[in-house]
Amino acid sequence: MLPAMDADRAKKLLQQERQRIEAALNLLDPEPEEGDDEVEPGDLDSEGLYQDEYDAGRREQLNQEMEALERAEARLKDGTYGLSVESGEPIPDARLEALPTAERTVDEDARYRRGL
């Protein structure tokens, strides 16, 4: 079994991931334009309705990413960061570099997403 990623490197990756998520959340419009009874989808200047839906979906995605980040930070704190939550096998450093919140190896994640 390979050793888990260096804790200092992992901490830096997770800090960068937190900054990315927080910056993306801050870019979203806090006030949706919905609610104007006089604006119907397709009307002139109704693009805000589309933007509201997009922002809501993006906000949900970013909140899920933040939850994954918090789980990764907890694993770092308890010394299990870089190990699969499923099998305990090491997650390759290259995967953690690309996806610092990875909870499983690539093969395990593929099976998990397929529901197997």
**What CATH number matches the domain at 7-114, 3.90.550.10, 1.20.120.1200, 1.20.120.910, 3.60.40.10?**
1.20.120.910
The domain spans of the chain are: 7-114
Cβ neighbors of 45 (< 8 A, separation 6 or more) are 39
The pLDDT tens digits of the residues spanning 12-65 come to 999 999 999 999 999 986 665 555 555 555 555 556 667 788 888 999 999 999
Query: Encoding tokens for residue 44?
Result: 């002139």
Answer whether 4's CB lies under 8 Å from 72's CB.
no
pLDDT of residue 92: 95
pLDDT digits (tens, 9 = 90+) for 71-112: 999 999 999 999 999 999 999 999 999 999 999 999 999 999
- Give strand ranges (E) for the chain: none
Task: Give the 3-state secondary structure of residue 83.
Answer: strand
pTM: 0.78
Q: Are 21 and 62 in contact (CB under 8 A)?
A: yes
